A and B are shown apart, each in its own frame.
Chain A
Amino acid sequence: MAVPLSYSFRSLWARRLTTFLTASGMALVVFVFATVLMLAAGLQKTLVQTGSYRNVIVLRQGATSEVDSGIERGKAAVVETLPGIAVDQSGETVLAKEVVVLITLPKKAGGTSNVIIRGIGKRSFALRPQVKLIQGRMPRFGTPEVAVGSSLVKRFKGLTLGSTISDSVRNWRIVGIMDAGNTAFSSEIWGDAEQVMQGFRRPVYSVVIFRMRDSAALDAMKSLIEDDPRLTLQAKRETAFYLDQSEMMAKFLTILGISLTIIFSLGAVIGAMITMHSAVANRVREIGTLRALGFQRRGILMSFLAESVFLGLIGGCMGIFFASFMQLITISTVNFQSLAELAFKFTLTPSVFFKSLAFALIMGLIGGVLPAFRASRLNIVDSLRTS
């Protein structure tokens, strides 16, 4: 009962230059939209991969990040003795008491940025199997030796094997370079927790991390820790913790992206509107003919809307195509929650793909509404008279 769809896309093809230019305008907006969402998705993915499902992170009650958490030695010792913590072959609990501090380092690109130094325990590497040494050796405990994440080596000055990082109290010697794939640990410096606490005059740990013997027993572990009035601590599954860490930033990026692209999209929508308007103006006699042949107003409306949505589809596919190349790029930014630099990749997830495509189709739809409505309201006799 409807005007065949081939009429809509052949008409787009018939004026392909205009179609291409209009679609390009839309593609640009979709590119920006997709890129920002890919940024948020990449950040989220990096932080989520950082956590492990079997690990529990213990923080001070009310702390929202490792940096603003603090756990006294006595409390940490209590956590250490809790039942339910996994034990390795040597009979020791898989648990690390860690301290997290920020130091400022000069970047290769100029300026400075905060970097996390994580004071680690003997089991820290075992708790994060994704962290691998790729050069040099492990820092020895009891010495001011550190291993540096590979993302930091790329972006910060002077972080090479054998060189030292100086802060007010101590010189930290770089003896190893570690890689933790696409996780936040690739943007950290690791050294002995006791050394870090002395060096930065921190009397308390930041977090206690342990592996659960039974990863399903989270609730039991949680209540053991959180219901003990002496401790005033909270426990979270590590994956959930890192997801929370990314939430604020991802939300911010998404809101920024959406508001930015809504402003841009006005231009693209107006472009589509002008294109569709002239399409209608140039095809008045065709429209009159279709109406005379018996096509309903609604059919004409749908036909021109379809044409405009096709236009959006082309723009959307172009924009997403170009945005997908952004996945080759690694960028770094300051994570709001930890205030530390974090490197991650633009990630084109199915959700980003469909959101971007929907965005493009909606732009096409909005741009087409007025022209399509006008087309459907044309007087048949008048439109047949036009040449």
Chain B
Amino acid sequence: MESPSNIVEIRRVSKCYHRGDLVVPVLTDITFDIARGEFLAIMGPSGSGKSTLLNLMAGIDRLDTGSILVDDTDITTLSETELASWRSSSVGFIFQFYNLIPVLTAFENVELPLHLTGLSKKERREHVEAALRMVSLTERMDHSPSQLSGGEQQRVAIARAIVTDPLILVADEPTGDLDRKSAADVLDLMERLNRELNKTIIMVTHDPHAAGRAHLIRHLEKGEFIP
């Protein structure tokens, strides 16, 4: 059987938050697919549910109804433990504030997800060096995050996201904390990952420049996609 052309299939997903007695609907009956190798940007006003949708696809949040298939795995049926190990092999995270571990060096930060694999120390080193080469930071690998600029930290974070060769990369406002130049570098890098390594990237952003780099832009408003 050939692998399906859609890597993510979102089927009738709804989710609401509870504030006291109040039920706040965040996503209502969302259905859509993301093609393999896609570079998708999700835009929309603040509070429209972009991050929530991204978190659901990344398996760090739970939906109320519906189902999400990633590479034919229905992640909504996985247990907490199964979901964690699924994330470790299938999802690469790029955060707005990089979220590097401050007490670890760039190398160790990139190596972190590999501790969840069965790789030997030597194999881990090879993977980390390859990932750092990809983001052109090999010579900074012994630096701690505080010794790196924002743009460099985000590139280390991208190396960490790709080091396990995940199915999808999810990025929530990856350029939200960066100046124009660093943002452009990070976007160049993401484009390259998509083009050269055929990585599927799902990016939430407010920034039209960032969204302009994507192949496809979807707009979310009040928990629903608008055409």
Are A294's CB and B99's CB within 8 A? no
Interface string of B79-113 (1 = CB under 8 A from A): 01100111111010101010101111000100011
Cβ-defined contact, A285 with B85, below 8 A: no
- B93 A3 Cβ-Cβ under 8 A: no
**Contact among A6, A293, A296 with B104 in the assembled complex (CB-CB below 8 Å):** A6
In the complex, residue of chain B having the shortest beta-carbon distance to the beta carbon of A15: B103
- For B113, list chain A residues within 8 Å (CB): 293-294
Q: Collect the chain A residues with CB atoms within 8 Å of residue B84's CB.
A: 291, 294-297
Indicate whether A286 reaches chain B with its CB closer than 8 angstroms: yes
Contacts across chains A and B counted by CB atoms under 8 Å: 70
Q: How far is the CA of A130 from the CA of B112 in the complex (A)?
A: 63
Contact of B89 among A13, A286, A290, A294 (CB under 8 A): A294
Residues of chain A contacted by B148 (CB below 8 angstroms): none
Stretch at the interface among B33-41, B54-62, B184-192, B195-203: B54-62
How many chain A residues touch B (Cβ–Cβ < 8 Å)? 26
Interface range, B side = 20 to 34
In this assembly, does A289 line the interface, its C-beta being within 8 Å of a C-beta of chain B? yes
Which of A2, A4, A297 has the most chain B CB atoms closer than 10 A to its own CB? A4
CB–CB A292/B58 < 8 A? yes
Does B116 contact A1, Cβ atoms closer than 8 Å?
Answer: yes
Report B133 CB to chain A, min CB distance, Å: 21
In the complex, A14→B101 CA distance in Å?
A: 12
User: Do A384 and B108 touch (CB < 8 A)?
Assistant: no
* Interchain nearest-CB distance for B140 vs A (Å): 18
Take A4-B108, A291-B84, A292-B58 as given contacts and tell me if A14 and B116 are in contact as well, using a CB distance cutoff of 8 Å: no
Shortest beta-carbon distance from B193 to chain A in Å: 18
**Minimum CB distance partner of B96 in chain A:** A384
A11 to B, closest residue via Cβ: B103
Given A7-B104, A10-B103, A384-B95, residue A293 in contact with residue B60 (CB < 8 A): no
A7 touching B101, Cβ below 8 Å:
yes
A11 to B102, CA, bound (A): 9
Query: When chains A and B are docked, how far (Å) is the Cα of A381 from the Cα of B172?
Result: 12
Residues of B within 8 A of A4 (CB): 108, 112, 115
Chain B residues close to A by CB (< 8 Å): 55, 58, 60-61, 80-81, 84-89, 91, 93, 95, 97, 99, 101-104, 108, 112-113, 115-116, 160
A-B pairs, 9 with minimum CB distance? A294-B88, A10-B103, A289-B99, A380-B60, A294-B87, A381-B61, A296-B84, A293-B113, A14-B103
Q: Could you list 12 examples of A-B contacts with CB < 8 Å?
A: A7-B103, A14-B103, A286-B101, A289-B95, A289-B101, A292-B87, A293-B116, A293-B160, A294-B89, A296-B85, A380-B61, A384-B60
